[in-house]
Amino acid sequence: MTSSYSIAGLAGVISALLFATATAGNMLAVPLFYLAPLPIFLVGFGWGLQPALVAGAVGALVLLPLSGPVFGLGYAVTLAAPAGFLTYLALLSRDTGQQASSDSGEQADVEWYPPGKLVIWAAVIAGTLTALTIPVFGMDAESYYAALQTMIEETVLKDVEANLPTPLDADQMLALTAFLVRALPAVSSIIWFLAVVLNMWAASRLVELIGRSLRPRSRIEAMVYPQEFSLAFVAILFLSMMGGMFGIIATGFAGAFIMAFVLLGLAVIHSLSHAATRLRPILLSMLYMGLVLFGWIVLIIATIGIAEPTFKLREKFANPATPTNRGGG
């Protein structure tokens, strides 16, 4: 049988090669780059924490000669270490002291680390990594904004202008630049957060399909967040409105936190949609199609997610026949 560490080494090489596509300068390579965490999560959820750590270490070592020490360090800090930490959390469990019936008889009931807290940790890591990139552009708010403005004007705005039927005037360019500079920390954390959470979800489903899952499937519809996370979100929003470096750092955290609440909002909608049994597939398809076509729908879903920890929408409006086990959130 193939050693788990051999599989881990192969996963690390694949992850490193996917991560290295960032240097290709080709838009077709972007989806491959965002799949870089998937091999590590696959090894972790299917073979354990140590193989996941080996995969991350191998990936970093592969990138050292391939792309240089800076790129290798970036991989280790932004991908390998967070994936290893999240794998560690995902595999945490404890015996509840109760007995659960199964086909083979009575056995101890095991409680696994809640999926809601996994998502929260992913959001916190996303905000932290965004904060760590800020000194790359400047050690104070003025130099940070100036460096970002120069970068955006030389990259993003040139592409935008090239694809517009009529060029923007000076005031429009200034307003667009100011918006992009202000929003970039939030956008960066959102992209990292979504990439990691979606790869975690995909890995958990894939290892389940091949019969290697070390953790039973979590009911995402029952995912919950502690009330403290809502309070932290309010505080982050307040700080993001401030000027200076505190405002910049808080904006990065706010982006990831908002997306965490979007996921909670989707969990609430999925749970409540059980009431419309026959129409459920159609309604959910329309929801996701609307998300793609009309971005503002995200704000509605985020509002539902923000309201859930306080108002317990699933408990109030769920179909009585629908399972509402809120444990494990």
State in Å, rounded, how far the first CA of the chain is from the last one: 36
User: Domain boundary at 42, 63, 91, which?
Assistant: 91
pLDDT along the chain (329 residues), means of 10: 87 97 81 96 98 97 92 96 98 82 58 96 98 91 90 77 71 82 94 97 96 91 92 95 92 97 96 86 92 91 94 80 45
Judge if 77 and 131 occupy the same domain: no
Residue 173, in any domain of the structure: no
Q: Is residue 177 part of a domain?
A: no
Q: What is the pLDDT of residue 319?
A: 60
Please tell me the predicted confidence (pLDDT) of residue 190. 97
Shared domain check, 71 and 5: yes
Residue 219 one-letter amino acid: R
The total number of structural domains in the chain stands at 2
Number of neighbouring beta carbons within 10 Å of residue 164: 9
60 and 141 fall within a common domain: no
Which of residues 91, 120, 138 is at a domain's end? 91
Pair (196, 309) in one structural domain: yes
Q: Is residue 277 part of a domain?
A: yes
- Give the length of the chain: 329
**Residue at 278 is within a domain:** yes
Say yes or no: 87 and 117 in one domain: no
Q: What CA–CA distance (Å, rounded) separates 213 from 201?
A: 12
Tokens of residue 306, six digits:
């923000």
Q: Are residues 1 and 80 in the same domain?
A: yes
- pLDDT on residue 328: 40
Same domain, 119 and 261: yes
| pLDDT at residue number 325 | 43
- Is residue 39 one of the residues assigned to a domain? yes
Residues 266 and 122 in one domain: yes
pLDDT at 52: 98
Give the model's pLDDT for residue 42: 98
Q: Please check whether residues 232 and 318 belong to one and the same domain.
A: yes
For the entire predicted model, the pTM comes to: 0.90
Give me the pLDDT at residue 264, please.
97
The rounded distance, in Å, linking the Cα atoms of 256 and 109 is: 33
Give the domain extent around 269: 111-148+183-329
168 falls within a domain: no
Residue 200 lies in a domain: yes
- Tell me which residue has tokens 């996941």: 52
pLDDT at residue 284, as a whole number: 92
Regarding whether 57 and 194 lie in a shared domain, the answer is no
Residue ending a domain, choose from 58, 91, 124: 91
140 domain-assigned: yes
Examine the domain organization and report whether 189 and 304 are in the same domain.
Answer: yes
pLDDT of residue 180: 86
